[in-house]
Structure 1
Amino acid sequence: MNNPYVPFKLPIINVTEETDIDYTFRFKSDINPQNGQFLEISIPGVGEAPISISDFGDGYLDMTIRRVGKLTDEVFELKEGDYLFARGPYGNGFNLEDYKGKDLVIVAGGTGLAPVKSIVNYFYEHIEELKSFKLIIGFKSPKDILFNEEIEKWKNKINVILTVDNGDENWKGNTGLITKYIPKINEEDYNQTEVIIVGPPIMMKFASLEFLNNNFPEEKIWVSFERKMSCGIGKCGHCKIDETYVCLEGPVFNYTKAKNLID
C-alpha cells in the first residue's frame, strides 16, 4: 500500500525570474494534472507548502513561486539540475469542458494569474473552441507583472486588458483597480458566458460583486481559493471551512458554493 505522505523528486529543468520575488520553476515531470490543481512541495528539514501548477505539457510542469518565507527562501537557492520533493497533484481543478463553445472571461489579480495560466495557454492554442475570450489582469505596479512575454503573445489572439493599481513615469498602459475593467454582460448573453475569477480574497469578492450587480448568474462564476492546505488529502483540517475541505472540494469552486465559505 502506497503512503500518500511520501513525496517524489522533481528535477529542475530551468528557472525564470518573473519579478524580484516571483520565479517560475520548470520541472521534469510526467504528471498530467487538471488545470488549477496544486502540489505540496518540500525540502526535507525545511518545510512543505502548497503551490499551484501554473502550466504543464509533455514531460514538464511549471510552478510560479513567490519568495515569502523559510521554505521559499531555500527554494530560490535551487538551480537547473537541482530538485525538490513534491506530493500530488491535489484538489478539484477547472473543467475546460465547462467553457468550450462559450464566451469566456478570466479576471486574475497578481499571483492569481498563475493558477489560470494553463487555461489561458490551452485556449490560446485552441481559440476556435471559444466564442470569445477576454482576459483581465491586474497587478499592484509595473514591476509586479508576471509573464510579460506571454502576455504580449496572448494579445495576438485574446482580448487582453492589463492594468496596474499604481503606474510610474514609464508606464503607458491602464491604471486603476481591476474591477474598473470588468465588462457589463447583456442578459441575452448570460447563458453563453462563463467567468473565472482568481486572486486575493478581497479582489475576488469585489470582482464577483461587479458581475452580480449586473445580475449575472452566480452559477456562471468560478473562483479558486488560495488557502493553507497542509496535507492535501483532507486529514489535517487546516484548510477546513465549516464542513468543507478546500484541498478536496477545491481549490476551484462555483460561486454558489464559494459565497458561503467564510472564515
Structure 2
Amino acid sequence: MNNPVTPKPCKILSVTKESEQEWTFRVESDVCPDHGQFMQLSIPKIGEAPISVSACGEGWLEFTIRSVGKVTDCIFKKEPGDNLFLRGPYGKGWPVDQFEGKHVVVITGGTGLAPVRSMLRYFAENPGYVKDVHLISGFKNEGGIIFKNDLEQWKEKFHTTYALDTEAKEGWRTGFVTEFVKEIPFEEFCGEYVVVVVGPPPMMKFTGLELVKCGAEPENMWMSFERKMSCAVGKCGHCRIDEVYVCLDGPVFPYTVARDLVD
C-alpha cells in the first residue's frame, strides 16, 4: 500500500535558466497532474517546498522555481542526473472542463505565469477547445521575464498584452497589469467567459477589484491562492484560514471564496 506522503526519488533531466532568479527543472516522472495542481519537492535532511507544475509530458514534469530559501537554494545546486524527491500531486487545479467553449481571460504577474502555463499550452495545442484566450502577463522588469519562447508562440495563438512595471521594451507595454483590464471586451463575450488571475497577493487583490469595476462577474473569476502550504494533506494546519485548508480546498479557488481569504 502506497503512503501518500512518501517522497519518490526522480531524476533531473534538464535545467533551464528562465530569468535571473527563476529556473525550470524538468524531472523524470510518470505522474499526470491536473493543470494548476502542485507537488511537494524535497531534499533529504534539508526540507521540502510546494511547487506548481509548470508543464508536463510523457514521462516528465517541469517545475519553475524561484530561489528564495533553504530548500530552493539547495535545489538550484542540482544538475541533470541528480535526484529530486517528489510526492503528489496535490490540491485542486483549474476547472478546465468548465472553461470549454468559453472566452478565457488570463492575467498573471511575475512567476504567476507558471501555474497557468500548462493550461495555456493545452489551449494553444487544441484550437477550438475555448473560443479564444486573452492573456495579460506582467513582469517587474526585463530581467524577470520567464518562458520567453512560450510568450512568443502565444502571440500567434492568443490576444496578448505583455507589460513591464516601469521599464520600456520594444513590443511590450509599460505599466501594471491592472491598467490593461479595461481593454478586455467583456461586453462582447455575452456572459460566456471565465477569468483566471495568478500572481502576488496584492496584484491579485487589485486585479480582482479592477475586473469587477470593468464589468467582470465575480462568479466567473478564479484565482490560485498559494500560501504557507506545508504538509499538503491538511494535517499540519499551516495553510488554514478560518475553516479553509489551502492545500486541500485550493490552491485554485473561485474569486467569491479567494477574495475573503485574509490572514
Letter paired with 1:256: T
Alignment length (residue pairs): 262
The residue number in structure 1 matching 2:109 is: 109
Identity of aligned residues (%): 48
Q: CA offset at residue 257 of structure 1?
A: 1.2
TM-score normalised by the chain length of structure 1: 0.96
Maintained 8 Å contact 1:133/1:159: yes
1:59 aligns with 2:59: yes
Range with greater deviation from structure 2 (68-77 or 239-248) = 68-77
Kindly state the Cα deviation for residue 4 of structure 1 after the two structures are TM-superposed.
2.5
Residue aligning to 1:125:
125
Q: Which runs of 5+ in 2 are unaligned?
A: none
Task: Return 5+ residue gaps in structure 1 as ranges.
Answer: none
One-letter amino acid of the counterpart of residue 174, structure 1:
R
Aligned residue for 1:175?
174
Contact 1:190 1:217 in 2 (8 A): no
Structure 1 counterpart of 2:72:
72
1:193 deviation in Å? Answer: 0.9
Does residue 138 of structure 1 match 2:148? no
Q: Is contact 2:161–2:172 with CA below 8 Å preserved after alignment?
A: no
Taking structure 2 as the reference length, the TM-score comes to 0.96
Tell me how far 1:103 sits from its aligned partner.
0.6
Separation of aligned partners in 2, 1:220 and 1:226: 20
Q: Deviations over 1:153-196 (max 9, x none)?
A: 1111111110000215x655211001111134444635211100
Look up the SS of the partner of 2:68 in the other structure: coil
Aligned twin of 1:22: 22
Distance 1:31 1:86 in 2: 10
Q: What corresponds to 1:246 in structure 2?
A: 246
CA shift at 1:259, angstroms? 1.6
User: 1:1-263 alignment to 2 at 5 Å?
Assistant: 1-167=1-167, 171=170, 173-182=172-181, 183-187=183-187, 189-263=189-263
Please report how far the alpha carbon of residue 214 of structure 1 lies from its aligned counterpart in structure 2 after TM superposition: 2.3
Query: How far apart, in 1, do the equivalents of 2:250 and 2:68 lie?
Result: 23
Q: For 1:187 and 1:44, locate their aligned partners in 2 and report how far apart those are by CA, in whole Å.
A: 53
Shift in CA distance, 8/161, structure 1 to aligned 2, threshold 3 Å: same
1:103 and 1:194 in contact (8 A); partners too: yes
Change (3 A) 1:68 1:186: closer
| Residues 134, 184 of structure 2: 8 Å contact kept | no
> How far off its partner does 1:226 sit?
1.9
- In structure 1, what is the Cα distance between the partners aligned to 2:27 and 2:232? 20
Q: Is the 8 A contact 2:226 2:246 kept in 1?
A: no
TM-aligned CA distance change 1:190 to 1:249, over 3 Å: farther
Which one-letter code corresponds to 2:179 in the other structure?
A: K
**For the Cα contact (< 8 Å) 2:194–2:221, is it kept in 1?**
yes
1:112–1:200: 8 Å Cα contact kept in structure 2? yes
CA contact (8 A) 2:186 2:215 kept: no
Distance 1:126 1:163, change over 3 A: same
Alignment check: 8 A CA contact 1:187 1:216 kept: no
Indicate conservation of the 8 Å contact 1:142/1:171, yes or no.
Answer: no
Query: What is the alpha-carbon root mean square deviation over aligned residues?
Result: 1.3
